[in-house]
């Protein structure tokens, strides 16, 4: 991986990196924070939301003080492949910046939009090869990235110790963002869509017993709450399936990084306890 820039922060080191991805067929960018000390350290993977790059979380979330205190590497990847020859759409909620953490099966997206395989395969392998990790890892994310964190954790429970999310798209098969993206990336088969819907995966018992708790923070002033996010579908599925989900409705908070910055330390501590337990 090529190091683009390096910063000292909270006694640790933050690196912006780029590599040529065999999975997406494009260059991919990410940031990696390593805490002070020699390690090895467990890893928290962060997935961002629509329109974001690796830089949004890195500069706005304020996660690194808690990561340094708990001794956790934090990895923030880009949200999609990008570049010349990569399919795109004029809208913000499809194409570059909107990978939805699935492997596309439809043209023109299939050649590059393979974000599930990228995160669960290539990215994890690179981090374990290049950094002093314990090979224990957890996953979290926001909005589209919260959807990604939940579904990847449920579909690949052998890879992750714990999962949390901020304002996740809880059931993308039942909201406009998800319906648009899944129709484009996965085609018309709604049964295939359900395999990437956290609420429906929990209903089906996928990942059953793998996570003692799933932590969700949601602002009650979020403008996307009723139409796009629908956390009640996730909690209803969890209650029916016997999966513990802790949904914290935060009064007055919206969908922004101000919301995440207010509670990110809780999420880092939540994961650190399970990563080191």
Catalytic residues: 143, 222, 255
- In eight-state DSSP terms, residue 161 is S
Strand order in the sheet with 41-47: 2-9, 12-20, 27-34, 73-77, 41-47, 133-141, 163-166, 214-219, 245-250
Comparing C-alpha atoms, which of 175, 152, 131 is closest to residue 46? 152
Question: Rounded to whole angstroms, what are the CA distances from 127 to 31, 82, 133, 228?
Answer: 11, 21, 8, 32
Q: In 3-state terms, what secondary structure has residue 19?
A: strand
| Unique residue bearing structure tokens 């979330």 | 61
Two tokens at 25? 């067929």
Count of CB atoms situated within 10 Å of the CB of 152: 25
Residue indicated by tokens 């909107």: 98
Residue ranges in 3-123 assigned as alpha helix (H): 54-60, 64-70, 115-117
How far is the C-alpha of 208 from the C-alpha of 203, rounded, in Å?
A: 10
CB 147 within 8 A of CB 168: yes
């Amino acid at each position: 991986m090529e190091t683009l820039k390096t910063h000292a922060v909270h006694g640790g080191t933050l690196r912006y990196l780029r590599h040529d991805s065999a999975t997406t067929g494009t260059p991919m960018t990410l940031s990696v924070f390593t805490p002070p000390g020699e390690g090895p350290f467990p890893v928290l993977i962060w997935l961002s939301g629509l329109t974001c790059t690796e830089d949004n979380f890195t500069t706005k979330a304020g996660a690194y003080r808690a990561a340094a205190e708990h001794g956790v590497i934090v990895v923030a990847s880009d949200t999609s492949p990008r570049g010349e020859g990569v399919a795109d759409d004029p809208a913000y909620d499809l194409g570059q910046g909107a990978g939805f953490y699935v492997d596309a099966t439809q043209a023109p997206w299939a050649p590059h939009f393979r974000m599930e395989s990228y995160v669960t395969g290539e990215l994890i392998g690179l981090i374990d090869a290049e950094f002093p990790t314990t090979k224990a890892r957890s996953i979290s994310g926001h909005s589209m990235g919260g959807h990604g964190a939940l579904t990847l954790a449920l579909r690949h429970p052998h890879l992750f110790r714990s999962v949390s999310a901020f304002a996740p798209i809880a059931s993308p098969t039942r909201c406009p963002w998800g319906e648009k993206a899944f129709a484009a990336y996965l085609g018309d088969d709604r049964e295939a869509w359900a395999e990437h819907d956290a609420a429906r995966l929990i209903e089906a018992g996928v990942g059953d017993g793998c996570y003692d708790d799933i932590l969700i923070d949601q602002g009650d002033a979020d403008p996307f709450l009723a139409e796009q996010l629908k956390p009640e579908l996730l909690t209803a599925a969890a209650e029916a399936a016997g999966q513990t989900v802790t949904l914290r409705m935060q009064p007055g908070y919206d969908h922004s990084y101000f919301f995440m910055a207010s509670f990110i330390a809780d999420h880092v501590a939540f994961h650190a306890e399970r990563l080191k337990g």
